[in-house]
Amino acid sequence: MPEGHVLHRLAGEQQELVGSSLRVSSPQGRFAEAAARLDGCRLDGVEAVGKHLIHRFGAESLHTHLGLRGVWYRSAPPSPEPRPSVRVRLADSAVAWDLIAPITCEVLDEAGVPALWGRLGPDPLRADTDPERFVAALGRDRRALGVALLDQAVVAGAGNVFRSEALFACRLHPGRAASSISPEEARALWDTLAGMMRRGVEDGRIITVDVPAGSDRLDVPEEAARQVYKRERCAECGAEVVTSEVGGRTAYVCPAQQPAV
């Protein structure tokens, strides 16, 4: 599933549409009625919060979530005819953005956007974020740390890759109770997550291994880009990575560097 860095990067790329009156259509038809309502409206802004994207059109907003398989495609005119699977196309005279296979695609009214915001925890990638909400949430959370980190009400935008890599970097075991870590450890975990996610926005992918000075980060092959996630051996110490199910997703742990207590 795309993690928060993908949405923030998309929000950045789609700033090119802001200020234009957009042609909004639903070639697939499933969003046709709502698209007709937004068609011709000026896009006032686009922003990401967690794994959600919000396009503001006056009092109404387009709310989308990519889920597991969703994807946005950009094309410049002459844009190809949209594929029949395109749920929504946003276009101005210079560019078209097509959304395919989202898990959520809906119009929210003025009350709907703050309601969505209210369900989400702080997003490390937003300027208005509040790390202390994360620290406080972990402090009262008796679930496993690895479960809490996937809960979008605890931290918005983190997914399984960031969970594995940030816990490894902080030497924290995902099975520990979230409330067992100190506020200092929670703040360090937040800073680590935020740093990894910001770098993810810049790189357009998740690279957590150290890249030698002078070489291009983006040259790191995908299978070697992480310390423990989907690796047989820890990239740092060589220990065999241990996997287990935590919060419905596979957690990857270096047993030598992430003690269970």
The pair of three-digit structure tokens given for residue 85, joined into one six-digit string? 């699977």
What is the C-alpha to C-alpha distance for residues 36 and 222, in angstroms, rounded to an integer?
A: 41
Q: How far is the CB of 215 from Zn ion (least distance, A)?
A: 23
- Output the DSSP codes for 14-58: GGGGTTSBPEEE-TTSTTHHHHHHHTTPBP-EEEEETTEEEEEET
Nearer to Zn ion, 224 or 237 (CB): 237
Nearer to Zn ion, 107 or 242 (CB): 242
Q: How far is the CB of 211 from Zn ion (least distance, A)?
A: 18
By CB under 5 A, tell whether 237 contacts Zn ion: yes
Selected catalytic residue, list 51, 56, 163, 231: 51
Residue 170's identity, in one-letter code, is C
Q: How far is the CB of 247 from Zn ion (least distance, A)?
A: 22
Selected catalytic residue, list 2, 102, 124, 174: 2
Selected catalytic residue, list 198, 199, 205, 249: 249
Q: Which of 205, 236, 242, 249 binds Zn ion (CB under 5 A)?
A: 236
Residue 51: active-site member:
yes
Residue 2: active-site member:
yes
For 116, the enclosing helix (H) or strand (E) is helix 112-119
Q: What is the size of the binding site for Zn ion (CB under 5 A)?
A: 7
Q: Which residue has the tokens 């060589």?
A: 238
What is the C-alpha to C-alpha distance for residues 43 and 186, in angstroms, rounded to an integer?
A: 38
Residue 142: active-site member:
no
Write out the catalytic residue numbers.
2-3, 51, 249
